[in-house]
């Protein structure tokens, strides 16, 4: 499915709809250039999963994994700084992928071979400064 959003508020609203239909063990891989709206979309998903807005998601670029409490545990994983497969293994990615929560993985292309077959893919593309084309596969809204 393809969507176009014209503001970060619209991207968050779309994320919220996604969050409302997710279930434990769902894994979403986010793809898109820097600044394309991956973290913004994840904020909306977290809201849809019941994360209190006071605890809204921030990019974990320097931490690599943030955990949030919603209806299910939410694992927000940012692979931006990952350089190789050994680093992916060292963070215990499998424990999160096959755990009891929802995994939201930014820069998922860096772990492509380690991600489950039923991966939900969200591709974000900058169309204009505020407009995004968002393609979602593996999930029906």
CATH number of 2-108: 3.40.50.300
Residue 41: name the closest of 7, 19, 15 by CA. Answer: 15
Helices 8-21 and 38-48 cross at an angle (nearest 10°) of: 50
- Predicted model pTM: 0.90
List the domain boundaries for the chain.
2-108
Instruction: State pLDDT tens for residues 12-55.
Output: 999 999 999 999 999 999 999 999 999 999 999 999 999 987 66
Better-scored residue on pLDDT, 81 or 75: 75
> Which is it for the CA torsion 85, 88, 92, 93, positive or negative?
negative
State the pLDDT at residue 61. Answer: 52
């Amino acid at each position: 499915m393809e969507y176009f959003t014209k503001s970060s508020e619209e991207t968050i609203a779309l994320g919220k709809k996604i969050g409302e239909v997710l279930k434990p063990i769902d894994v979403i891989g986010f793809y898109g250039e820097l600044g394309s709206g991956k973290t913004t979309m994840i904020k909306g998903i977290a809201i849809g999963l019941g994360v209190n807005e006071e605890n809204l998601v921030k990019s974990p670029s320097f931490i690599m994994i943030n955990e949030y409490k919603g209806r299910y545990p939410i694992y927000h994983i940012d692979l931006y700084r990952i350089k190789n497969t050994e680093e992916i293994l060292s963070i215990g990615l499998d424990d999160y992928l096959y755990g009891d929560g929802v995994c939201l993985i930014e820069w998922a292309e860096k772990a492509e071979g380690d991600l489950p077959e039923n991966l939900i893919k969200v591709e974000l593309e900058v169309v204009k400064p505020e407009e995004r084309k968002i393609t979602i596969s593996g999930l029906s809204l």
